[in-house]
A and B are shown apart, each in its own frame.
Chain A
Amino acid sequence: MKFESMADFIGMGGHGLYVWLAYGIALAILLLNVVQPLRQTRQLLNQQARRVRREKGLS
């Protein structure tokens, strides 16, 4: 461990804002890159399921 205390860790020797901002943006971008395609796929499958039901209802 390179830090004495929790406050020391959060503060990052005066560079806390920069370090945590960078890591926060990284987390947000990585999460978005997983969540977005999963949501798109689910939407597409739901949409196709509705279409199948509609066509079945007509015939």
Chain B
Amino acid sequence: MLPLSLLRTAQNHPMLVELKNGETYNGHLVSCDNWMNINLREVICTSRDGDKFWRMPECYIRGSTIKYLRIPDEVIDMVKEETAVKNRGRENKGGRGGQNQRNRPAARGNFGGNRGAKGGNVGKFQKNKPKQ
């Protein structure tokens, strides 16, 4: 199981985030991304020594500043289902290579067809290029 899948599953759950500087943030996870940047709602920030507190409605934390996240125990059981579904999907496809090979002849055919037609893909692509 990947840590970031677990974090994604923990969306809408309460959690505690400790930063490298020792500050902790308690709040509900709104969203996260592949860099572990996170969005929290209804946050209580606690200073390093635990003697000062700040309440804030919302905050955004850069992933690289995080030391660890503490999440509710039950979240780990919710991830398992997701990964199981994903793996089943992969098995059905029969692997990347197999699918690509099957698609290749069709793709070649389409390409040839487009070239023959007036204003095919190649022409469109070149026209768009200078605009970008």
Chains A and B are bound partners:
no
What is A's interface to B at a CB cutoff of 8 Å?
none
